[in-house]
Structure 1
Amino acid sequence: MLQMNRSKSRLRIVSSSERRMGLLPEAVADKKPQGGRWLLWLPLLIAGVVLYTLNVTNEMDYHGPVPSRFVPVPENIIPNVTRGFLVDTLGCRIPALDPFDPAVRKYVEHPKPIKCQAKGRQLVASNLSSIYVVEDVLPDYNVTSVDELKCCYTPFWRVVGSMQHYSWDVDDHVRLANYCIPFHRDMEIKEEFIKVECRVNDEEIYKDYHAFIIPKPEVEKRCEEAVSTNEVDTEDRPSVLMLGIDAVSRLNFHRQMPHTLHQLRQLGAIEMLGYNKVGDNTFPNLVPVLAGLSEKELRDSCWPKDKSSFDYCSFIWKNFSEAGYRTGFGEDSPWMGMFHYQKVGFVKQPTDYYVRPYIKHAEDKLGNSKHLNAKLCIGSRLTAEVLLEYIRKFVHSLASVPSFALFWGASLTHDFLNYAGLGDDLYVKFLTDMKKWEVLENTVLIVMSDHGIRWGGIRETYQGRMEERQPLLFFVFPAWFRERYTAAVANVQRNTERLTTPFDLHETLADLLHPEELLNQAAIRRRSNEVLSAENPPRGISLFLQLPVDRTCPLAGIDAHWCTCQQSEPVEKDSPLVLRSADFLVKHLNEMLQNFRQCEPLTLAAIQDAQLQVPLQHLHNATKDKGIHDYLLIIRTIPGGGIFEATIRYRAKDDSLSVVGIVSRLNTYGNQSACVAEYHLKLYCFCRS
Structure 2
Amino acid sequence: MLNTKYQLIPTDEHLPKEKSSATWIVKLALIFVGLFTLAFYTWSPVLVQPEPCTFTTPRANEALAKWEANCTTSVFEQSTTENEHSTTTNEQSTTNLVLGQQLTARTTKASKSEEKNNRFFVNTPQCQMPYPNPFSRNILNVYHRKRYVVCDKRPDMLKVNYNEKDRTYELHMNNANLTCCYKQILRAGVRTEADSQYKLLPCVTFPQDFVVPNHVEAVITECRRPNSSKVLQEDGFSFVHPRKPDPDPTPSSPADGGAERRPSVLLWGIDSLSRMNFELTMPLTFKYFRKQPWYELQGYNKMGDNTFPNLMAVLTGFNQTRSYSKCRPTAVGGLDACPMIWKSFRAKGYATAYAEDWSSISTFDYLKMGFRTPPTDVYGRPMILALEKELTKRVIKNVPYCLGRRSAAEYIYDMAEQFTEVHKDRKFFGMFWTNSFSHNDFSMPSAMDARMVKYMRTLDHNGIMNNTIVIFFSDHGSRFGVLRKLDSGFLEERLPVIYMRIPKWIRDKYPEFLHSLKANKNRLTSPYDIHATLKHILELDTPAEQLPRPEGCPTCHSVFEAVSLSRNCSLAGIDDHWCGCVGFTVPATDPMARTIAEQIVEAINKFLTGLKGTQKCQTLKLAKISSLHRKGNSNTYLVGLSISPGDGFLEASAQWNPKTETISTTVSSISRLDSYATQSQCVRAEEAKKFCVCKK
Give the TM-score, by structure 1 length: 0.79
**Cα gap change, 1:196/1:179 in structure 2, threshold over 3 Å: closer, same or farther?**
closer
Distance 2:465 2:229 in 1: 47
Given residue 206 of structure 1, which amino acid in structure 2 is its aligned partner?
Q
Q: Which digits, 9 at most, give the CA deviation of each residue in 1:638-672, with x for residues without a partner?
A: 22111111112112344320114611111112321
Query: Among residues 157, 161, 169, which one is paired with 1:130 in the alignment?
Result: 169
Distance 2:213 2:450 in 1: 29
User: Secondary structure of the equivalent of 1:401?
Assistant: coil
Q: What is the deviation of 1:476?
A: 0.8
Q: What is the deviation of 1:538?
A: 3.0
Query: Among residues 204, 208, 230, which one is paired with 1:180 in the alignment?
Result: 204
The answer to whether the aligner puts 1:674 opposite 2:677 as a matched pair is no
8 A contact 2:309–2:323 mirrored in 1: no
**Cα gap change, 1:609/1:371 in structure 2, threshold over 3 Å: closer, same or farther?**
farther
Q: What is the deviation of 1:470?
A: 0.3
The answer to whether the aligner puts 1:154 opposite 2:178 as a matched pair is no
Distance 2:472 2:266 in 1: 8
Partner residue, 2:608: 593
- Aligned pairs for 1:186-225 (under 5 A) are 187-190=211-214, 191-200=216-225, 201-217=228-244, 220=245, 223-225=246-248
Distance 2:428 2:402 in 1: 29
User: Secondary structure of the equivalent of 1:644?
Assistant: strand
**Cα gap change, 1:545/1:108 in structure 2, threshold over 3 Å: closer, same or farther?**
same
Distance 1:588 1:408 in 2: 35
The answer to whether the aligner puts 1:284 opposite 2:309 as a matched pair is yes
The answer to whether the aligner puts 1:170 opposite 2:200 as a matched pair is no
The answer to whether the aligner puts 1:567 opposite 2:583 as a matched pair is yes
Q: Which digits, 9 at most, give the CA deviation of each residue in 1:111-163, with x for residues without a partner?
A: 354353x584543232334354563xxxxxxxxx531x2211132322474xx
The answer to whether the aligner puts 1:299 opposite 2:324 as a matched pair is yes
Distance 1:568 1:75 in 2: 42
Q: What is the deviation of 1:204?
A: 1.9
User: Secondary structure of the equivalent of 2:303?
Assistant: coil
Greater mean alpha carbon deviation, residues 666-675 or residues 366-375 = 366-375
The answer to whether the aligner puts 1:580 opposite 2:614 as a matched pair is no
User: Secondary structure of the equivalent of 1:344?
Assistant: coil
Determine what percentage of the aligned residue pairs are the same residue: 30
**Cα gap change, 1:81/1:206 in structure 2, threshold over 3 Å: closer, same or farther?**
closer
Partner residue, 1:556: 572
8 A contact 1:501–1:556 mirrored in 2: yes
Q: What is the deviation of 1:426?
A: 1.3
The answer to whether the aligner puts 1:90 opposite 2:97 as a matched pair is no
**Cα gap change, 1:641/1:687 in structure 2, threshold over 3 Å: closer, same or farther?**
same
Given residue 252 of structure 1, which amino acid in structure 2 is its aligned partner?
N
Greater mean alpha carbon deviation, residues 283-292 or residues 172-181 = 172-181
Partner residue, 1:643: 649
- Aligned pairs for 1:143-542 (under 5 A) are 146-147=176-177, 149-159=178-188, 161=190, 166-167=191-192, 169-178=193-202, 180-184=204-208, 187-190=211-214, 191-200=216-225, 201-217=228-244, 220=245, 223-225=246-248, 227=250, 236-303=261-328, 305=330, 309-366=334-391, 368-515=393-540, 517-518=541-542, 523=543, 538-542=554-558
Partner residue, 2:624: 606
Given residue 586 of structure 2, which amino acid in structure 1 is its aligned partner?
P
**Cα gap change, 1:188/1:178 in structure 2, threshold over 3 Å: closer, same or farther?**
closer
8 A contact 1:253–1:261 mirrored in 2: yes
Q: Which digits, 9 at most, give the CA deviation of each residue in 1:165-223, with x for residues without a partner?
A: x11x3113323334513234654443211221112312222222211111233xx2xx3
Partner residue, 2:663: 657
Partner residue, 2:43: none
Q: Which digits, 9 at most, give the CA deviation of each residue in 1:326-383, with x for residues without a partner?
A: 1111111122111010001101111111111112211221252223442001102111
Distance 2:196 2:419 in 1: 21
User: Secondary structure of the equivalent of 1:446?
Assistant: strand
Q: What is the deviation of 1:584?
A: 1.1
Q: What is the deviation of 1:680?
A: 1.9
Q: Which digits, 9 at most, give the CA deviation of each residue in 1:232-264, with x for residues without a partner?
A: 969711111110111000010000001011112
User: Secondary structure of the equivalent of 2:629?
Assistant: strand
The answer to whether the aligner puts 1:686 opposite 2:693 as a matched pair is yes
8 A contact 1:104–1:464 mirrored in 2: no
**Cα gap change, 1:567/1:75 in structure 2, threshold over 3 Å: closer, same or farther?**
farther
Give the TM-score, by structure 2 length: 0.78
8 A contact 1:278–1:284 mirrored in 2: yes
Given residue 214 of structure 1, which amino acid in structure 2 is its aligned partner?
H
8 A contact 1:73–1:270 mirrored in 2: no
User: Secondary structure of the equivalent of 1:610?
Assistant: strand
- Please, which runs of 5 or more residues in structure 2 have no aligned partner? 1-64, 84-114, 163-167
Distance 1:411 1:368 in 2: 13
Distance 1:373 1:587 in 2: 33
8 A contact 2:80–2:292 mirrored in 1: no
Greater mean alpha carbon deviation, residues 667-676 or residues 409-418 = 667-676
**Cα gap change, 1:120/1:591 in structure 2, threshold over 3 Å: closer, same or farther?**
farther
User: Secondary structure of the equivalent of 1:599?
Assistant: coil
Distance 2:187 2:661 in 1: 57
8 A contact 1:71–1:490 mirrored in 2: no
Greater mean alpha carbon deviation, residues 261-270 or residues 473-482 = 261-270
Q: Which digits, 9 at most, give the CA deviation of each residue in 1:565-611, with x for residues without a partner?
A: 132223356x4221111111211222222252211111222112222
Partner residue, 2:86: none
Greater mean alpha carbon deviation, residues 234-243 or residues 387-396 = 234-243
Given residue 224 of structure 1, which amino acid in structure 2 is its aligned partner?
P
Partner residue, 1:16: none
Partner residue, 1:10: none
User: Secondary structure of the equivalent of 2:521?
Assistant: helix
Given residue 591 of structure 2, which amino acid in structure 1 is its aligned partner?
P
**Cα gap change, 1:226/1:646 in structure 2, threshold over 3 Å: closer, same or farther?**
farther
Given residue 643 of structure 2, which amino acid in structure 1 is its aligned partner?
T
Partner residue, 1:47: none
**Cα gap change, 1:499/1:406 in structure 2, threshold over 3 Å: closer, same or farther?**
same
Greater mean alpha carbon deviation, residues 238-247 or residues 455-464 = 455-464
Q: Which digits, 9 at most, give the CA deviation of each residue in 1:400-441, with x for residues without a partner?
A: 111011111111001111001011011100011111112101
- Please, which runs of 5 or more residues in structure 1 have no aligned partner? 1-54, 136-144, 615-619, 621-627
Distance 1:226 1:638 in 2: 62
**Cα gap change, 1:238/1:274 in structure 2, threshold over 3 Å: closer, same or farther?**
same
User: Secondary structure of the equivalent of 2:280?
Assistant: helix
Given residue 308 of structure 2, which amino acid in structure 1 is its aligned partner?
F
**Cα gap change, 1:480/1:58 in structure 2, threshold over 3 Å: closer, same or farther?**
farther
Distance 1:70 1:686 in 2: 53
**Cα gap change, 1:320/1:56 in structure 2, threshold over 3 Å: closer, same or farther?**
farther
